[in-house]
Structure 1
Amino acid sequence: MKNMYSQKETDILNYAEMNKNKWKNMGIEYCTVEDERYPNTLKKITDRPVLLYYRGNIEIINEYHNIAVIGSRKCSLKGRKISYDTGKYLAEKNVNVVNGLALGCDTEALKGTIAGGGRCIGILPAGLDDILPKSNQKLADEIVMKDGCLISEYPVGTPVKKYQYVRRDRLQSGLSDGVLIVEAEEQSGTMHTVEFAQNQYKRLACYYHKLVELSSGNRKLEEAGQISVIEDKKRLEEFVEAVMKEQTYEQLTLF
């Protein structure tokens, strides 16, 4: 596989190798796409990063099932509660919860997971030395302490740029076995992740739009079909069971 690296990927690998000891002293390591620690699900997408930087236990990604629980930053009180309860339920099912550590639904899902004794995977849009948002620094540290991990495709010292949030979204769905939308408006970053998930053939679900308030995205997904609509705990159980039985497929490149 080494001969298949582009010049850009080779430069990324060389830079990481040069700095690995310095970053290791900060608690940050990396694995390449050839490494056993690299997420198996992520290897299957067409634009997977050549390497991932991480803090914490990255091996949990390959050891357990992973479900991305995502939604609006400015979520409603209903959305906050559902996010928290979903995280706690997935923890009880021994499923890792994945998202971008954003405010709102993401944060509440992670808190619920930790409260339930589960493991979290937070994916950042910048270097791992720059937790975004700053207010989630304590939560990020707790994720690592509770056998979870933080991941980024960017080296230490990389500042965040707007496009990197969208690039991060492909990783949220890419390393997950399923994607669950709690609450989202039609024009939102959450819908970027949905689009990536569809292209990556991930199992998708959303909460029924009447259960939350900021739900134009939920309604659009329901109307389009081909998505599990969660109206109660039984439907949530069915979705999680289906994800845990799901076979994996490689993302196709169309010419």
Structure 2
Amino acid sequence: MDITCREDKLLCLVLCRMTFLSTGEKIKLIKKLDSLHNVIVQSIEDISTIIGRKSRARWNGKFVLRQAQQDLHLIEKLNISMVLCTDEEYPASLREISDPPFLLFYRGNIKILRNSCISVVGTRRMSMNAGRECVEFSKSACLDGNNIVSGLAYGIDRKAHEGALKAFEEASDKSLVGRTVAVLPGAIDNIVPEGNRKLAVKILESGGVILSEYPPGEEALPYRFVQRNRIIAGLSSATVVIQAPPGSGAMHTAEFALDYNRELMFHREAFSDSSMKISSIVRRQLSIAADKNSIEEKKLKMDPELYVHDGAPIIKNYADFLECMFELPGKRSCEQTKEVQLTLFD
């Protein structure tokens, strides 16, 4: 679909607001109904028939159309772009996942997502060493032509973006350097945390891109942070966890990476003395709550040690990362992995 005309933009925005439908079901509606008017006049029973399942959602087409009109007004006013999941400019790696966003809203150069991307994630409460290692890894990866994807949060996310920006600033030939990609848990017009707004400006000035699956005005609600993490994992061929305690947001990204059959690696800083102490405290807290809360039980299983036990490699730098990426499956020989595994499991 060509979403350059106003009516098609409104149609896509209406469908974006139909949160009770999956992306696949929204595509079915487009193919079956093919016009804005045809969608908004449908009853929920009609929609259920088209998608092949019964929906009990509340649906008022005229009300949602008014929301979409407000969205479009803000998109035009704030100079926000959007791309549909079936469009050529939509990131191919993201289209491959089981639950791709129907629309992406963005500012910046979305074409950079055609190039190699590496997701770099971790805790907000990072150690100084982890911060330094994150900057160095991201800088090296960008100098080698990779884009760095992260979530614009404080801590490791910020350091990942800063490392990429450092590569751009220092490169003599900027056309050969990767850029950085920030994926937001809320709308493009609502940068969170506020303290990273200047960083967001630098990302755009360097030729990077900031994107979200939410239309203008949408807040960064708690559940949307996890939803955002699936996009971070889906955009990249590999996810690198620098430092993260069990059950954290970064570990959700790690889980998504495995679900999408992408590479997952841990930096050695994830197993430093300070990291292990924090992880031990978090495990105890989760264990106490796990008897009463199945969510906490699930978080206990999202533990860096368990992923390494199951074969996830441990790296100390970008050179190690490349070694792991080009090794044959089942023959990972990174010395960092062996060293930490001996400490953890022997």
- Fold conserved between structures, TM > 0.5: yes
- CA deviations on 1:132-185 (whole Å, 9 max, x unpaired) are 111000001111111100010000100121100010010000111110110111
Given that 1:183 and 1:218 are in contact with CA atoms closer than 8 Å, whether structure 2 keeps it comes out as no
The one-letter code of the counterpart of 1:34 is T
**What is the CA–CA distance in structure 1 between the aligned matches of 2:65 and 2:166, rounded to whole Å?**
37
1:213 corresponding residue in structure 2: 274
User: Match of 1:77, as an amino acid?
Assistant: M
Return the structure number with greater helix share. 2
TM-score by length of 2: 0.64
Going from structure 1 to structure 2, the CA distance change for 1:45 and 1:222 (only over 3 Å counts) comes to same
Secondary structure of 2:78's match? coil
Instruction: Report the residue type matching 2:145 in the other structure.
Output: N
Change in CA separation of 1:144 and 1:3 when aligned onto 2, cut-off 3 Å: closer
Separation (CA, whole Å) in 1 of partners of 2:138 and 2:228: 20
- SS of the aligned residue for 1:222 comes to helix
Task: Give the CA deviation at 1:236.
Answer: 2.5
- The 3 A distance-change label for structure 1 pair 116 and 14 is farther
Question: 1:104 and 1:137 mapped to 2: Cα distance?
Answer: 15
Distance 1:13 1:180 in 2: 41
Query: 2:308 — aligned with what?
Result: 222
* Matches of 1:214 and 1:72, distance apart in 2: 10
Structure 2, unmatched stretches of 5+, are 1-23, 31-46, 48-56, 169-177, 280-302, 328-346
Q: By how many angstroms is 1:24 displaced?
A: 3.1
DSSP 3-state at the match of 1:192 = helix
- Tell me which residue corresponds to 1:248: none
d(CA) in 1 for partners of 2:264 and 2:126? 20
- Structure 1 170/212 Cα, relative in aligned 2: closer, same or farther at 3 Å? farther
Q: Is the 8 A contact 1:99 1:123 kept in 2?
A: yes
Contact 1:69–1:106 (8 Å) recurs in 2:
yes
Q: Which residue of 2 aligns with 1:30?
A: 82
RCO greater where, 1 or 2, for CA within 8 Å and sep 6 or more? 1
Q: Is the 8 A contact 2:71 2:215 kept in 1?
A: no
| Equivalent pair of 1:79/1:213 in contact (CA under 8 Å) | no
Whether contact under 8 Å (2:134, 2:160) holds in the other structure is: yes
Distance 1:115 1:36, change over 3 A: same
For 1:4, the equivalent position in structure 2 comes to 28
| Contact 1:186-1:220 at 8 Å conserved across structures | no
State the match for 1:192 in structure 2. Answer: 252
RMSD over aligned Cα, in angstroms? 2.4
Aligned to 1:182: 242
SS in 1 for 2:266: strand
Residue 23 of structure 1: CA displacement? 1.2
Matched residue type, 1:131: I
What is the distance in 2 between the residues matched to 1:19 and 1:81?
40
Which residue matches 2:228? 168
Q: 1:18 to 1:33 in 2, by over 3 A?
A: farther
Is it true that 1:49 corresponds to 2:101 in the alignment? yes
Structure 1, 191-200 or 232-241: larger mean CA deviation: 232-241
Inter-CA distance 212–112: structure 2 relative to 1 (3 Å threshold):
farther
Q: In the alignment, what sits opposite 2:175?
A: none
SS class of match (1:54): strand
- Aligned-partner residue type, residue 307 of structure 2: L
Counterpart code for 1:229: I
SS at match of 1:116: helix
Q: Provide closer, same or farther for how the CA distance between residues 20 and 104 of structure 1 changes in structure 2, counting only shifts above 3 A.
A: same
SS in 2 for 1:213: helix
Sequence identity percentage = 31
Q: How many residues align?
A: 238
Distance of 2:326 and 2:147 partners within structure 1: 14
* Structure 1 residues 5 and 13, CA gap change in structure 2 (3 angstroms): farther
> How far has the Cα of 1:232 moved from its partner?
4.7
> Highest CA radius of gyration, 1 or 2?
2
Question: Aligned pair in 2 of structure 1 residues 35, 18: CA closer, same or farther (>3 Å)?
Answer: farther
Partner of 1:111: 162
Q: Whole-Å Cα distance in 2 between the matches of residues 137 and 163 of structure 1?
A: 22
Aligned residues of 1:78 and 1:212 also touching (Cα < 8 A): no
Unmatched tracts of structure 1, length 5 or more = 243-255
CA distance in 2, matches of 1:43, 1:207: 28
TM-fit CA distance, 1:3: 5.3
